[in-house]
């Protein structure tokens, strides 16, 4: 039947050490650590507005809480 594809690791998906450092910094700096959409919950996710994980331009990144990030995807 079908060959099972190996899942890509975080590095292959664009989430390497550089991304993790940028993520930590932006989640704490932006909007006082709160979600940039609802401002009601702590931000835990860094959303790529253009959905390209390799585009790390800060204008393309939005700090989201779990609920707002889930609603986006």
DSSP 37-50: TTSSSB--EEEETT
The whole-angstrom separation of Cα 50 and Cα 3 is 31
- Model pLDDT for residues 8-23, shown as the tens digit of each residue: 787 887 778 888 999 9
Return the residue matching tokens 């919950």: 41
- Model pLDDT for residues 29-60, shown as the tens digit of each residue: 999 999 999 999 999 999 999 999 889 999 99
Return the residue matching tokens 């707002």: 68
The whole-angstrom separation of Cα 43 and Cα 10 is 20
């Amino acid at each position: 039947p079908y060959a099972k594809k190996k899942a890509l690791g975080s590095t292959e998906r664009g989430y390497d050490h550089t991304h993790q450092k940028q993520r930590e910094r932006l989640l704490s700096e932006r909007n006082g650590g709160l979600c940039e959409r609802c401002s009601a919950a702590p931000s835990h996710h860094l959303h790529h507005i253009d959905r390209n994980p390799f585009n790390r331009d800060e204008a393309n990144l939005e700090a989201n809480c779990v609920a707002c990030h889930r609603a986006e995807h």
